[in-house]
Every structure is written in structure tokens, then in C-alpha cells.
A and B are shown apart, each in its own frame.
Chain A
Amino acid sequence: EPEVTQTPSHQVTQMGQEVILRCVPISNHLYFYWYRQILGQKVEFLVSFYNNEISEKSEIFDDQFSVERPDGSNFTLKIRSTKLEDSAMYFCASSEARSYEQYFGPGTRLTVT
């Protein structure tokens, strides 16, 4: 069964450093998303991406964040200058154009020290 994959599973970085989180969505999906979940809190929407551009972003997704689909398979989230409060689990998700359930990856745990 097709699944969303994410790398790395755990990333530790120092405050102020740049990180890139990587995702491979399900191959025939057209909509891509990033969500985050701070420990013990709810899953929060960050950004959605369709047709090679951002279609919607939340207030959390400020100028420090960017997304890219560098080729036909990968989807990346970059945080330019990490802060302590960026520590969270980051989930990538994808969905088909016409159905609306989203398929989530296993997540990348980001720890900013």
C-alpha cells in the first residue's frame, strides 16, 4: 500500500540553525501539506501546496518557513533560523485531487536546543 515517507525521523539542531525536513508524498497525489504537533498539543496546520505553489498558510508559517517541491517526488519544509519553540513533531501529508482524506507520514521530531 502506498504511504507517505519522511526523513529524518529525528533532527536535533541548535537555535539559529537552518533545517530542512523532507517528505515523499504518495505518487499520484496532487495536494501536499505540512502540519506540526507540539508535545501534548493538537495537530496544527502550517501550509498547503498545490500546482507548485502555496495555496494556503497559517499564521504560524511566517517568513522563517518555506516549502519546495524540487522534483517530481520530494516535498520539503525549510526553517531558516530555528527557535526553541519550533521544537515539535512535523507531519507531511498528501491527498488526491478529488477525495479529501489526507494521508500522513510518520513525522520528523525536531528538537531545537
Chain B
Amino acid sequence: SQKIEQNSEALNIQEGKTATLTCNYTNYSPAYLQWYRQDPGRGPVFLLLIRENEKEKRKERLKVTFDTTLKQSLFHITASQPADSATYLCALGPYGGATNKLIFGTGTLLAVQP
């Protein structure tokens, strides 16, 4: 079955710096890879989606890369702010077919220090 690994340790950075989070997966590549933000006790919030034929996607201060050869995605937050502190989830899917099931990683806790 698909296994997804994200930085298991919390990531602590200073305000203004760039945060880089890693998502590695095994087995077959999905057609899409997504990143979500989750605050304590809340539901995941969609941030970015990247397709297998896209190398990079940007949205404001966020950037995602997707390397299907390395089976890896990198998620960058530039000019980080304390308000960016949250858990960031990598999700694989959909794979195609009739459903849009997502397979989530365990997430990386990001703490941005003022």
C-alpha cells in the first residue's frame, strides 16, 4: 500500500525565513498531489494542488514542486509569518478512476517564531 513520509520532527523557523517541508512517497505516483493546512481541532484546509505533469505551482507566498522520478514533493512558504504556524499535510490523490480519494501523510508541524 502507499506510504507517505513527511518531516516527523516539528520545524521551527524565524519569521521572514523560508520554510521548506518535504513529502516522500513509495509505490506508484498519483495523478495529483495536494497540500493542506490543519490547525488544532479543525478540518484540513486546501492550499495547493499540483498535477503529475507540472514541475512547480505557485500561489502568493506558497510554492509546491512535484518530482515523480524522486517520488517527492517540496512545499515552500516564503517570508514566513507567525500566522503560518500550523500542521501541513501532504495528500496523494486522486489517482484517477471514479473517485477522488485522498491518502494523507502524518503532517509536519511548523512553528514560526517572531
Interface residues of A (CB under 8 A from B): 4, 31, 33, 35, 41-45, 48, 50, 55-56, 89, 91, 93, 95, 100-107, 109
Interface residues of B (CB under 8 A from A): 32, 34, 36, 38, 41-46, 49, 89, 91, 93-94, 98-107
Chain B residues positioned under 8 Å from A35 (CB to CB): 102
Main secondary structure of the interface of A (DSSP, over half): strand
Given the complex of chains A and B, what is the CA–CA distance between A107 and B43 in angstroms?
Answer: 6
A91 B106 Cβ-Cβ under 8 A: no
Given the complex of chains A and B, what is the CA–CA distance between A48 and B43 in angstroms?
Answer: 17
* CB < 8 Å neighbour of B103 from A45, A50, A101: A45
Residue of B at shortest CB range from A4? B43
| Given contact pairs A43-B89, A100-B32, A100-B94, A105 touches B100 in the complex (Cβ within 8 A) | no
B105 A42 Cβ-Cβ under 8 A: yes
Chain A residues positioned under 8 Å from B106 (CB to CB): 41-42
Residue of A at shortest CB range from B101? A45
Q: Select the residue from A45, A91, A103 with max chain B CB neighbours within 10 A.
A: A45
A50 B102 Cβ-Cβ under 8 A: no
Given the complex of chains A and B, what is the CA–CA distance between A17 and B88 in angstroms?
Answer: 35
A91 B44 Cβ-Cβ under 8 A: yes
In the assembled complex, how far is the CB of residue A53 from the closest CB belonging to chain B, in whole angstroms? 11
Given the complex of chains A and B, what is the CA–CA distance between A35 and B105 in angstroms?
Answer: 13
B98 A55 Cβ-Cβ under 8 A: yes
